[in-house]
Amino acid sequence: ALYVQETRLEDSKAKTAGHNVNIERLDNEISGLNTQKAPIDKEIAKAENAVKEISKKFPGTTLQTIAPTIKKLESDLESARQDLATKKAELDVVSKKVAANEVRIEKAEKVQADRLSSIERNSSEGVITAVNEDWGFVLVNIGKDQGVQGDSELIVKRDGIRIGNLNVVSIQPGITVADINQKGLSGSVEPGDRVIFQNLGE
């Protein structure tokens, strides 16, 4: 009977030792899992904090709804980028049109300036000596002797500013009669105003 008891005791010790080995193995596995779990817990905590921050800005956002929210934000960002690219393209087109118009304006201004300069160089200058407002004509102290012709362009100026044009009616050796051209007239024509005669054939 003693032998049987000793045998049973040995078996129990062996089983206990086996259980202890299993427990130690499980403890090691649990320790390993805890080690692996630690950084995951940190990531989860970080994600939860991020969700809290986003929830402040976007009420109602949870960990379950954050993915769709991020997806929507990314979609909105992409739409904004596309809109920006479109606006930049439109701005580029408009800028080119503005630049082209500025070139045209610059050329037109140069042509006008050259034309006025040519008129000044190739013209004779007179002065209005009398104005008949009732009939709308003037007398100018320059005529055939100074090269005025029937198709001469007559420009009225005062203090260097263009007031309007005159149309030749008759030309005498030293005097010209001309009608006041009402079109484009910027003021009243008065005695003493300068008159520039430009022969169109020149």
Residue (of 73, 75, 51, 53) closest to 64 by Cα position: 51
| pLDDT in the model for residue 65 | 66
Tell me the C-alpha distance between 131 and 179, whole Å.
10
| pLDDT in the model for residue 177 | 94
| pLDDT in the model for residue 43 | 78
How many C-beta atoms surround the C-beta of residue 137 within 10 A?
Answer: 18
CATH class of this structure's domain 124-199: mainly beta
User: Which residue ranges make up each domain of the chain?
Assistant: 1-64, 76-121, 124-199
Place of tokens 């929507």: 72
| pLDDT in the model for residue 192 | 94
Tell me the C-alpha distance between 36 and 29, whole Å.
10
Strand-pair category, 161-171 with 176-181: antiparallel
The pLDDT tens digits along the chain (202 residues) read 566 666 677 777 777 766 777 777 777 777 777 777 777 778 777 877 777 777 777 666 666 666 776 777 778 778 777 877 878 887 787 778 878 888 888 887 787 777 666 655 556 789 999 999 888 999 999 888 877 888 777 899 998 888 999 999 999 988 999 999 888 888 889 999 999 887 644 4
Residue (of 123, 190, 141, 133) closest to 163 by Cα position: 190
pTM above 0.95, yes or no: no
